[in-house]
Structure 1
Amino acid sequence: ERGLCSGSQLSEKAQCWLQRIQRVGAEASTRPRLECAESVMASIVPKTLADDTQPLTSTQQQAVFAFDKRNFKKPQPLGKMINWALHEILARYQNTVVFGEDVGKKGGVYHVTHHLFDHFGANRVVNTLLDEQSILGLAMGMAQQGFLPIPEIQFLAYVHNAEDQIRGEAATLPFFSNGQYHNGMVIRIAGLAYQKGFGGHFHNDNSFAVFRDIPGVIVMCPSNGHDAVLMMRQAVQLAHCQKRLVIFLEPIALYMTRDLLEEGDQGWLHEFPSADAPLPALGEPSRYGDGDELVIITYGNGYYLSRQACSELGLEERIRILDLRYLVPLDIEKVVDAIGPANHILVVDECRNRGSLSEELITALYEHSRDWQRVDRITAKDSFIPLGSAAYKVLPGKEDIRQYLQEHLGQ
């Protein structure tokens, strides 16, 4: 009616499209069929590319950390170490962009993005709408345009209204495009429980089960500042070189924790690892102690609480404590290697009894070997996290671990 195209022209265009479809279909039919699980899954983990970046030189590092040079050589808590790691990463990887709610001038709710805006500017440190779907949607769009997005989800419970952006979109793109497209990114999420003075379910959520069955996704959870720096470097390297989607789960309650056993002992402070410090093997737990009577397997806040219980009972020479660090995928071979000769295992899982990592871990242990003398677990209750001190009624505590150790090791 508007004279934009005649009927014959429309017919001609339709024929051209039909011929193109037939040509592409014929070409596709000549390609090898997917004959085994390995070929089906090949695109889930893309091929590794060389890292074309270089660690910062000492001069570059001095310039990046000049804003905090008074503290840089001093041991620091988890939150400060992540902040420094982000400074280092944005300086090294020029295509990285940090964005989320209040990450700009405010520096984040817990100041983990402090000073990033001042140093790198508004184009690389971006405040977003208070909408997690938009944040993750922006991350996908940026990843497909060659950026390496580092979105922040302010609290773990906030991600649940946008989880399909990860499950149904970001994580599936490499698979359904046969590796032609990707969503390499590092999603930082402040989460888990035990936060004092600012709690309730939406700020103290202890469930990350939604991430655990998504093929190709990696979930990391550092319990201390030293590991956090190395694992953040590793997460960004994986996103850059393998185009992986990494969830970096940060225990809120440990952000500012300085002491381990008593006030002022500074037992949970660490120095910033050097730029050439080796990265952990992906999936390898860290180990504290060399005892072989009992092994505690845990992560996050559970590792901190287990260390407290072990030290207070003087059991360092009798037990060992494994900090899983890498929660998804669970590398059971590396876990069993770290267990050593012990055959009595206690799993301390701060998440809920039902649907937590402890279920997968215990199943994997028994699938690997039937020779364990005893495998038990301490978990949170199947409950949401209430406000105030009531929260500790449904979470595993140091006393629960102490009691178990006293009952089974005669302390």
Structure 2
Amino acid sequence: MKIISNPGEQKWAKLTGRPKTNQTKLMDTVNKIFYDIHKKGDRAVKKYSRQFDGFDNDTFLVDNETIQAAASGLSEQLKQAIGLAKANIGKFHLSQQLTEAKTETSPGVMCWREARPIERIGIYVPGGSAPLFSTVLMLAVPARIAGCKEIVLCTPPDKDGNIHPAILYAAQTAGVTQLFAVGGIQAIAAMAFGTETIPKVDKIFGPGNQYVMAAKHAAQYYGTAIDMPAGPSEVLVIADETCRPSFVAADLLSQAEHGPDSQVIFLSNNKKILKEVNKELTLQLDNLPRKEIAEQALKNSKAIFFNDIATCISFSNRYAPEHLILAVENPVLRSREVTNAGSVFLGNYSCESAGDYASGTNHTLPTGGNAKVYSGVSLDSFVKKITFQQLNEEGISAIGPAVEIMAETETLYAHKNAMTLRLGDVAGKYLSATSTDQTEKE
């Protein structure tokens, strides 16, 4: 990686940019496929599955026998690892279940909020160059905890129509209710519209390449919610003289191997560390099976020297990385300066791959600078919050006059009348009660 030394803030906008794709051409492709699937359903899905995945079959639905048989194709060691990851993901997301207290905003006016699960969610799991079965756990486990009734999963098959057994096993253990061998834009469109075979979902989750991400944006336009805008994977590492250069290089490569459009950024206040990490990158790169992919990604990547860690963190906040690693002295203290990041990893032993698989936090995170305004997937992603309010006669008296004058000022007289009638009723009851009391005294 080429080392850039002390770039001024006027250059940060360019340095924090991501690789660009031709969005116009991309969306033309997406819109064409969406139109076909909306009009022709399964027939169009089959057409595009043949075209893009080389898969031709009568049905997309993966039957229970196939899913159940997947376990026999996996080692006990892997199954135990999946079990550990599932348990930790479950623990972390269970901890996010909160019961909110009722609040009396005025005398006799009670307000509160309750969560209700999204009924049917769709999960997209990439399966092309790498079978991301960990994504199944990251999405299906919290969906189950949230109480989602239906969990529909789409993932691309190989040319023989097979899905990696680890994806099938993870789907079975995590509680996926239906699984379809469909990938790419056609999978997102099918879940957005619904076809004869694939049900329409309320919200689509999951990572993917630029085509999948563009399709998710299109799904929003047609009324299906998505987890967040996302794109190619990225990591930003900040390291000082206390770091382990071999660890830093490994973390950078762990993201670079995701895809040629991934991006890694390395920042340090120590030029010697920058050079040592670069040497480690060269050494470790030669041993990677996905070397060519990682090399491509490194072409989009940068190593930058700043005079101090505070400036490194300021640059990182401008970049808003999907993953941020603080391999610095007092990382917890330094983390207080972080304002924009999808997920933060503190210290030399907190590798990003821990979060990708088994620490318990969710690895479905905002990319492309969207961490400035979006959070990663959490339990809240699978529910909607409904507010409730309950007013008694005291409450009507407490806020009624304010509601009347506000509604009248907005010239919404029906709004005013809805309150005026109730105020009159309360006043009538009060007068009646007062009159009764007076009569009894006499």
Q: More helix by proportion, 1 or 2?
A: 2
Higher relative contact order (CA 8 A, sep 6+): 2
| Bigger Rg, which one | 2
